[in-house]
Amino acid sequence: MDSPSQEPQNYRPATRQPLHTFTTIKTHLLRALTETGLKDLDNKDVPLPASPSEIQFGRAVNILDPNAGFTLGEWEQQEVVAEEDDGLEEETGKKKGKGRPPKKDVEEGR
């Protein structure tokens, strides 16, 4: 019998996969905000986006000072790039190349 410290040969540790996509999270967030009837300090309704795709997540520039602003999360920037790539394909029928440096960079030895 194998000792408890030995793992089977075909053992693979579980990879961490997100439980939900950002699209799903945004959908649930918008639904929850809509259901709560969110109000500001003057007891007026807070305007909410019409669709989950209008919600963007970011990070505070300075976590101790929220008035310093926020930067768009890198996961949001990836979605923007993907949307731009999709537009390129629709307009030209071609996909943007991936994995190759520009010819100029190759010639210069970069």
Residue 6 lies in a domain: no
Residue 79 lies in a domain: yes
Reported pTM: 0.52
> Same domain, yes or no, for 24 and 34?
yes
> Same domain, yes or no, for 50 and 65?
no
> Same domain, yes or no, for 61 and 91?
yes
More confident site: 82 or 35:
35
Q: How far apart (Å, rounded) are the C-alpha atoms in residues 9 and 7?
A: 6
Domain holding 27, by residue range, is 20-55
Per-residue confidence (pLDDT) for residue 29, from 0 to 100: 95
> pLDDT of 16-53, one tens digit each?
887 888 999 999 999 999 999 889 999 999 999 999 99
Residue 34 lies in a domain: yes
Q: How far apart (Å, rounded) are the C-alpha atoms in residues 52 and 11?
A: 40
> Same domain, yes or no, for 50 and 67?
no
What is the number of structural domains in the chain?
2
Residue 35 lies in a domain: yes
SS (H, E, C) the chain: CCCCCCCCCCCCCCCCCCCCCHHHHHHHHHHHHHHHCCECCCCCECCCCCCHHHCCCEEECCCCCHHHCEEECHHHHHHHHHHHHHHHHHHHCCCCCCCCCCHHHHHCCC
